[in-house]
Each structure stands twice: as C-alpha cells, then as structure tokens.
Amino acid sequence: MEALSRALEKALRWAAVLLLTALLASVVIGVLSRLVNQPVAWSDETAQYLLVWTGFVGWMIAARRRSHIRINVFVDLLPAGARVAAEVAIQASVIVLAAALLRFGWPLIGRNWDVEWVSLPLPSGLLYLPMPFAAAVLVGQALLEIGQALRGRAGGAPGAGRLPP
C-alpha cells in the first residue's frame, strides 16, 4: 500500500510539472504571437483547459499532503472526542462532494465529448476528464483521514501528532 501511495504521489508531481510547463508554453506562445501581430487562436483556450487540469491536480496533491486551508479555531476548542467527531464529519463531507463529482463527472464528460473546442478539433469533454480521477483520490484520502482520526492521530497538518486528551 505504501508503494502505491508513493507511486501516486510521484505521478501527481510529474503531472503538475508537465501541466504547468505546458500552461507556461501556451501562454508564452500566445503572448509572443500577439507581439508579432500574428495571434495563435488556440493558445488562450489551451491555457484555460490546462489551468483547469492543473487545479484538479493541485487539489489532489494538497489533499494528499493535508495542505488545504483549514481554520481550526473552533475545532481546537473542542474536547478530544468532539474533535475526532468533527474531523470525521469534515472528511465525510469531502466524501459526499467527491461522490457527487464521481456521479456527475462521467456523464458530464460524455455529454461534452462530441462538442469540439472553438479553436482545435478536440473534444470539450477533455476539460472535465480529471474530475472523476480527482474525486477518486479525494475519497481515498478522506477515508485515510477518517481512519487516522479514529485511531487518535490528528489530521489537518502534515506531521501532526496525537490528539491531546
């Protein structure tokens, strides 16, 4: 299981690097082509799609690293048992959101697969393709977080220790 987790982490990092590099290249091509008064029609749309994909990959990375923004002011005031219950409730909410993305993501891709981009002969469904994969990663991560909370390990920050009594 640990090897699978490391492989997923490595794949996500490489995906982020490749997507950001492609996004940068698309924006630079767009800027340079406008500079010489020969705008490339596909650069803007490509950059928009790549930005969406980068956002989904970033969401997966942040979820796996537990580096999303969390405001713990009120949760930290709760006794340990209530903090565990709050963490389980938060992660259950993440699972509900991810389940909705899984449920509606594939049909959304299907409905847009036969619609082409404005500037390139590619299916618009590509825009939504990372959605179900991100949802699956989020469900897995939320289940791990619930398990850790129930075992008494604090969530919400990398390297967090045990919940105090």
pLDDT tens figures, 111-144: 999 999 999 999 999 999 999 999 999 999 999 9
Per-residue confidence (pLDDT) for residue 136, from 0 to 100: 93
Burial class (CB in 10 A: 0-12, 13-18, 19+), 153: middle
Residue of 86, 109, 100, 112 lying closest to 136 (CA atoms)? 100
Strand partners, 162: 153
Question: Rounded to two decimals, what is the model's pTM?
Answer: 0.81
Per-residue confidence (pLDDT) for residue 69, from 0 to 100: 81
Strand partners, 123: 116
Cβ atoms 144, 4 nearer than 8 A: no
Average pLDDT over residues 4-32: 95
Model confidence band, residue 162 (pLDDT cutoffs 50, 70, 90): very low
Full DSSP string of 102-133: HHHHHHHHHHHTTSBPSSSSSBGGGGGTHHHH
Q: Write the pLDDT tens digit of every residue in 73-116.
A: 888 899 989 999 999 999 999 999 999 999 999 999 999 999 99
Average pLDDT over residues 58-62: 93
Least confident of 15-19, 33-37, 89-93, 154-158: 154-158
> What is the C-alpha to C-alpha distance for residues 23 and 3, in angstroms, rounded to an integer?
30
Q: For 13, which DSSP code?
A: H
